[in-house]
A and B are shown apart, each in its own frame.
Chain A
């Protein structure tokens, strides 16, 4: 283990000073304006909230500014690449030995999409020199019996396709204890001993073979590194909302990622997927405890990634962000409502980190990441509070008349105008919010190929303006969503951890109305109140009210795929992954189109549950993947009763949970298979047309 070198510490001090200085300066200006007639409690509240929020946006600003400067200097991902020749030679031998497991935890995801993604990844990896040292594990926690069985068939297809090139494994857990982190932990405990590294993939993750091979090589060369995160680029969505997000991530993302990487160095964060992890320290130091108390703050740790990075840091291992690596992708939520749903889960996970933030022994950077996660949701509440306090202050001022003559003072007390200070502060705030976007845009001009792949300077500029307009309109809506989430979590309401929407489903008018009616009514009420009672304040409020007021049509329109495609045809919101997609994405797109055109898995008659009972192959495939666990007598009796019920009343008499119980039991599945064939032998039952194994 190497101690953290002095330079990174110094750069972090400089960074903290920059943020502190900017915030202090802004606070001084606002303080001067507010203190004209002495501070009231209300004004102190405004000052405090403004300080917090200004520090928050300034952090993002200086990160992007640093990233932009590094882009100008052509320095990205330098630290992990700069390895001495000696160390390179020393690790050369080790490279041949190190083994890597690609692990994909899945939970009720579309098996065809999962299969398509894995095929694309493995085909890309097969072209690299690392193919011999990699295995793939599909770690299923699915609770839907049809999805479980479809996963098995998809796995058998994958296994056949890559026989002789990769070992592809499949494991299903009947109960998803501790959700994703429990799934990964189960893999580590069972098979972690076989591998040096694991690459964690989400169900929608795509990583190119080159990216994976480079990650493995960097881990080999840097034995002090516990984890390398590659920033995933959002891709493949076609709705207007998703395409604007993809464009933003593609243009502003690299600058921001470079800044983060430079600032954090070996103290970066883990985002839960598209990362390579050194298994030995992960297993030794990242076992997650169950937090005391009830959900939403107690129980299992939901957003495990930040905590795992902090634990690795606590144990002295470095965590890096590989900002220079391309070939790491994910799919963004297709609509505003899906984005909000994902936010609801993340919000609970991040707020739960308040319980971990002050844990013993964590490094300051680890605590900082946890605090930033918390702040990313609390900032919405602070923003809302700031608006409310500002409105109250405006109301107070509109009701108070200026007194020109103060008792005991011979000279009149002329009102002092702070218009210049207010305009300066507003300009600075707006600059801090918009400059990072401009940094990203200007950085495009450093690389002609990248600029052309974004549609050229003019179209990229137009896209930037359009994206900024969307941001202005959508930010207050997201703020209202997040504020509600935070309040509901603080009120003790927990959330179900469901799988993410991963296809381009559009939002219907009724859905949009149900989700945003409250926002619209709130905007109307706030607008009417401010217009009636604080007419001077009303114009300042309109940019914030416009988004919520238009939330219903905005949500509906931005979810539309045809609008997204139309803008692409006009060359707007174009990203390199659309204009010149890498091979791994082209491959995936081809497969997804094939799925969409009706190439359904199996295509057999009836449900897969029926097939797993009657079809000799599907039944055997399922049986060979089951773990033989002894059952308690009472459980055996219950399962036998389920078998009897199925015989008497048919498959529809069983719930999904009961089907899963039967599927989890080898003895029941063996009995049901024999019973099905006896029934076919005795009665005129036919399993569809021709042999049941005709398509698998």
Chain B
């Protein structure tokens, strides 16, 4: 009886270890896919993610991948020092910075523009109206005939046509 109980406990323990190992392997695979190529760095991040999952109450019984990805995002964001910008950026920004890290490290000025919210995607938007213009059809208005300037234009046109006629008709 006791032996059965002991073997059951041992089996549970083994299962627990297996589940834990599977979780860690899953996190490791995810971080590798996210671009954390260096093994030592990845191991450190894996343990950070697993700690965060434990703190969040996630057990290895069944891997909640949404929680794992959120934890990876949080860890990567902290890793790249962009937690302060988190309010303006989506949580997964850490993953983007991780993906771009090799290029940024080799960029000429070593600037990390992607960690700055104002340089990402688009600048802050401020809606300002662009009023639709009136394109209604012009219709002649009688009062315009009383404006001397209209007459002057008409006179100019008549004079021009007369000159043309004199020049060409003969």
Contact = CB atoms under 8 A, between A and B. Distances in A.
Interface in A662-696: 666, 670-671, 673-675, 677-678, 680-681, 687, 691-693, 696
Given A24-B164, A616-B35, A620-B96, 5 more contacts: A159-B114, A160-B107, A164-B111, A193-B126, A359-B138
Contact of A617 (B35, B108, B109, B134): B35
B164 A20 contact: yes
Given A160-B103, A167-B119, A288-B133, A691 B138 contact: no
Interface in B133-168: 133-138, 160, 164, 167-168
Given A624-B90, A624-B121, A190 B127 contact: yes
B63 A291 contact: no
Interface residues of B, number: 57
A655 interface: no
Interface string B45-69: 0000000000000000001011011
A674 B114 CA distance: 24
A297 to B, nearest CB: 13
A544 interface: no
Given A163-B109, A673-B69, A674-B66, A693 B99 contact: yes
B122 A192 contact: no
A285 B133 contact: yes
Contacts of A188: 128, 130
A623 interface: yes
Given A163-B113, A167-B119, A194-B123, A360 B34 contact: no
Interface string A157-195: 001100110010111000000000000010011111110
Contact of A17 (B99, B121, B164): B164
B135 A289 contact: yes
B96 A624 contact: yes
Contacts, number: 169
Interface in B91-129: 92-96, 98-100, 103-104, 107-109, 111, 113-114, 119-123, 125-129
A619 interface: yes
Interface string A124-166: 0000000000010100000000000000000010011001100
A356 interface: yes
21 contacts: A17-B164, A156-B100, A160-B107, A163-B114, A169-B121, A171-B122, A189-B130, A190-B126, A191-B123, A283-B128, A286-B133, A287-B129, A289-B132, A356-B135, A359-B134, A620-B94, A620-B99, A671-B66, A678-B63, A678-B65, A681-B22
B133 A360 contact: no
A28 B107 CA distance: 73
Interface residues of A, number: 69
B65 A189 contact: no
A90 interface: no
A529 interface: no
Contact of B128 (A160, A192, A285, A290): A192
A19 to B, nearest CB: 11
B39 interface: no
Given A164-B109, A617-B96, A358 B132 contact: no
A193 B122 CA distance: 13
A311 B133 contact: yes
Given A24-B168, A164-B113, A693 B35 contact: yes
A673 B69 CA distance: 9
Given A170-B121, A189-B127, A192-B128, A621 B99 contact: yes
Contacts of B123: 135, 167, 169, 191, 194
B138 A674 contact: no
A96 interface: no
Contact of B92 (A189, A620, A680): A620
Interface string A277-289: 0000001111111
